[in-house]
Amino acid sequence: MTTPSQTVGPFFGYALPYAQGGELVPEDHPGAITVTGLVLDGAGEPVPDALLELWLGETGTRGALDRRGPGGSGFGRCPTAPDGSYRFRSARPATPYLALLVFARGLLKPVMTRVYLDDAPDPLLDSLEPAVRATLVARAETADTYVFDVRLQGDGETAFLEF
């Protein structure tokens, strides 16, 4: 009998974020990418108290929690700033996408989505109408910086996933 979910609430900030949680790889890691963006609510306002978790599918040589040493971790955690922004530094994933979970006050359970780095043929993307598809594809701002906004509700609402 599954244990039900409850909101992460507003006061996780001193407990769940950890040092360099959003930095899955060191700054000088070859081929590192930045994934950044905003979390927005149904009024288009920034969500300053969300927590994002990024998963690449393999834990990697650095730990999930311990950022010492070279190489990369496959897991990252980053709270949003007061302006609703978040930022991860990661290795380029082996898959075309990164898995993303968002927790926040007002979310009684997390939302899960995928950050696709390219708008290439893909079984999930190809099953979606263009406007919905577009919400899953990050915008390449530079060769190594990808912008991915999460719109929880309303115009341009991000496609959220379940299994």
Partner 1 sequence: MTHPPYLSPAYRSTLLRAPSRPPLRLKADPDAIELTSPVFGHHEVADREADLTTQHTGEPLGERIIVSGRVLDGLGRPVRNTLVEIWQANSAGRYAHDRDRHPAPLDPNFTGAGRCLTDDEGRYRFVTVKPGAYPWRNHHNAWRPAHIHFSVFGTAFTQRLVTQMYFPGDPLFPFDPIFQSIPDAAARERLIAGFDMDTTEPEWALGYRFDVTLGRTPLEDS
Footprint on this chain of Fe ion (rule: CB under 5 A): 9
- Which of the choices Fe ion, partner 1, none does residue 43 contact, using the CB cut-off of 5 to 8 A by kind? partner 1
Q: Does 65 bind partner 1 (CB under 8 A)?
A: yes
Q: Does 71 bind partner 1 (CB under 8 A)?
A: no
Q: Does 53 bind partner 1 (CB under 8 A)?
A: yes
Closest by CA position to 98, among listed 137, 145, 143: 137
**Tokens, residue 146:** 């990808």
Q: Does 149 bind partner 1 (CB under 8 A)?
A: no
Q: Site for partner 1 (CB under 8 A): which residue of 59, 69, 141, 144?
A: 59
Residue 154's SS3 state is coil
Please give the Cα distance from 132 to 139 (Å, whole number): 15
Closest by CA position to 99, among listed 123, 134, 74: 74
**Tokens, residue 71:** 């190489």
Please give the Cα distance from 159 to 8 (Å, whole number): 21
**Tokens, residue 104:** 């926040």
- Which of the choices partner 1, Fe ion, none does residue 111 contact, using the CB cut-off of 5 to 8 A by kind? partner 1
With a CB cutoff of 8 Å and minimum separation 6, the contacts of 74 are 24, 55, 56, 57, 58, 59, 60, 64
Q: Lay out the site mask for partner 1 across 112-141 (x = CB under 8 A, - = otherwise).
A: x----------xx---x-------------
In eight-state DSSP terms, residue 131 is H
Q: Lay out the site mask for partner 1 across 9-48 (x = CB under 8 A, - = otherwise).
A: xxxxxxxx------------------------xxx-x-x-
Q: Site for partner 1 (CB under 8 A): which residue of 25, 111, 117, 125?
A: 111
Site residues for partner 1 per CB under 8 A: 1-16, 41-43, 45, 47, 53, 55-59, 63-66, 73-75, 93, 95, 97, 99, 101, 103-112, 123-124, 128, 152-154, 157-163
